[in-house]
């Protein structure tokens, strides 16, 4: 069985391996020992803190194979982005150049540097190792965050975003960044991506063009990748779109990958989730429906995918003893759960 729990210091080696496997363009997990150690420490602090409103907290989860103890994936949530360091995006919009006297009317797309997403929550750092890319593991690792956020809403903003990895090749060559590099930065994409990942973002404010960029002035290659995602990111994007996320024209400043957003209470898994007290009864758990299930704890958070029965008359969720042990819950404790799949 796969269990999702908060990361702990002993998971460092696994996290480092995941950072190496994730490759160039996965900004939130740079291969840097001190930064990864700091991410673990920050996450532990966040899970232990008593919080009434979102701040700078960063939560990092890991997926563990309970049979082997192997950590096979990670995912995270940032409570509020941009409070300490500026959080940059390009916004793709249109301007009109028109002359009534000459009967000329032209529209042009522009990219404007902005900080519009300051203060929103971000789901991030999602990576599943190749050996675990089967069944519901990918959906589980992603969707469990919506259950956690719905259960602990005071810790998060109403608007939730996800930055999707844009187009780049195996060597880190990004068509969009190539144009920026040539005209403004004199720095390759892997270097810029790494510096951002370790928190050194000052160069963006210093070197990024201050005025809107006309898309038509970019190279054809750069224009072609605006708002497009990396092949390996397509499944993650489809999953988020099925949850109600959409892009409102914001793209990454390095590779032009899209940023998608949704309101927490409108996210399909969060909206469909239920919170019920449990009853442990081995004999009656025979449902064919599988659910993603979390306990309602924070520091001792646990999540599994399993079957359960619902006693509507008594408002109880009936689970097995084995599942109760994995979730660290007892009779009368509460769980929150949502179906692993939704009917079309």
- Do 191 and 160 belong to one domain? yes
| Domain-located, residue 329 | yes
Count Cα atoms within 13 angstroms, Cβ side, for 186. Answer: 2
User: Among the options 89, 134, 183, 230, which is catalytic?
Assistant: 230
Average pLDDT taken over every residue of the chain:
91
Q: Give yes or no: residues 263 and 286 share one domain.
A: no
Residue 122 lies in a domain: yes
Percentage of residues of the chain with pLDDT beyond 90: 69
Same domain, yes or no: 149 and 287 = no
pLDDT digits (tens, 9 = 90+) for 275-334: 999 999 876 666 678 999 999 999 999 999 999 999 999 999 999 999 999 999 999 999
183 belongs to the catalytic site: no
**pLDDT tens by residue, 116-164:** 999 999 999 999 988 888 889 999 999 999 999 999 999 999 999 999 9
Q: Which residue has tokens 């192997």?
A: 70
pLDDT tens digits along 273-287: 999 999 998 766 666
DSSP state of 331: T
What average pLDDT does the segment 5-20 reach?
94
Cα–Cα dist 101/93, whole Å: 26
**In-domain check, residue 156:** yes
pLDDT in tens, 76-91: 999 999 998 889 899 9
Q: What is the pLDDT of residue 318?
A: 94
Q: Give the whole-angstrom CA distance, residue 332 versus residue 297.
A: 14
Q: Report whether pLDDT(246) > 80.
A: yes
* DSSP secondary structure of 13-36: HHHHHHHHHH-TT-TTS-S-HHHH
pLDDT at residue 26, rounded to an integer: 63
- Between CA 68 and CA 197 the distance in angstroms is 31
Domains in the chain, number? 2
Same domain, yes or no, for 199 and 261? yes
Structural domain of 148: 2-88+115-268
Between residues 48 and 31, the one the model is more confident about: 48
| Mean of pLDDT values over 208-235 | 92
Token digits of residue 344: 């079309």
Within a domain: residue 19?
A: yes
Q: Please tell me the predicted confidence (pLDDT) of residue 286.
A: 66
């Amino acid at each position: 069985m796969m269990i999702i729990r908060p990361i702990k210091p002993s998971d460092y080696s696994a996290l480092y391996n995941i950072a190496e496997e994730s490759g160039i363009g996965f900004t939130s997990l740079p291969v840097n020992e001190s930064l990864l150690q700091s991410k673990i420490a920050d996450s532990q602090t966040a899970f232990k803190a008593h919080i009434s409103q979102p701040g700078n907290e960063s939560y990092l989860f890991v997926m563990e194979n309970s049979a082997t103890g192997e950590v096979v994936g990670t995912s995270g949530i940032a409570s509020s982005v941009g409070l300490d360091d500026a959080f940059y995006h390009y916004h793709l919009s249109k301007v009109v150049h028109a002359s009534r006297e000459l009967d000329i009317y032209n529209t042009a797309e522009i990219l404007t540097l902005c900080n519009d997403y300051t203060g929103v929550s971000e789901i991030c750092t999602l990576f599943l190792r190749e050996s675990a890319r089967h069944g519901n593991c990918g959906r589980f690792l992603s969707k469990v965050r919506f259950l956690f956020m719905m259960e602990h809403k005071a810790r998060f903003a109403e608007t939730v975003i996800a930055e999707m990895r844009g187009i780049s090749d195996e060597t880190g060559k990004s068509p969009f960044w190539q144009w920026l590099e040539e005209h403004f930065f004199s720095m390759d994409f892997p270097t810029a991506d790494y510096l951002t990942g370790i928190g050194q973002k000052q160069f963006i404010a210093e070197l990024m063009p201050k005025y809107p960029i006309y898309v038509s002035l970019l190279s054809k290659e750069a224009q072609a990748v605006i708002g497009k995602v990396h092949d390996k990111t397509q499944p993650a994007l489809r999953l988020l779109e099925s949850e109600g996320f959409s892009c409102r024209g914001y793209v990454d400043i390095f590779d032009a990958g899209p940023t998608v957003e949704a309101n927490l209470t409108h996210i399909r898994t969060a909206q469909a989730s239920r919170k019920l007290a449990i009853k442990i009864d081995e004999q009656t758990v025979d449902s064919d429906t599988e659910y993603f299930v979390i306990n309602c704890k924070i520091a001792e958070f646990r999540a599994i995918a399993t079957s359960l029965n619902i006693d509507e008359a008594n408002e109880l969720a009936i689970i097995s003893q084995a599942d109760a042990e994995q979730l660290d819950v007892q009779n009368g404790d509460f769980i929150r759960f949502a179906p692993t799949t939704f009917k079309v």
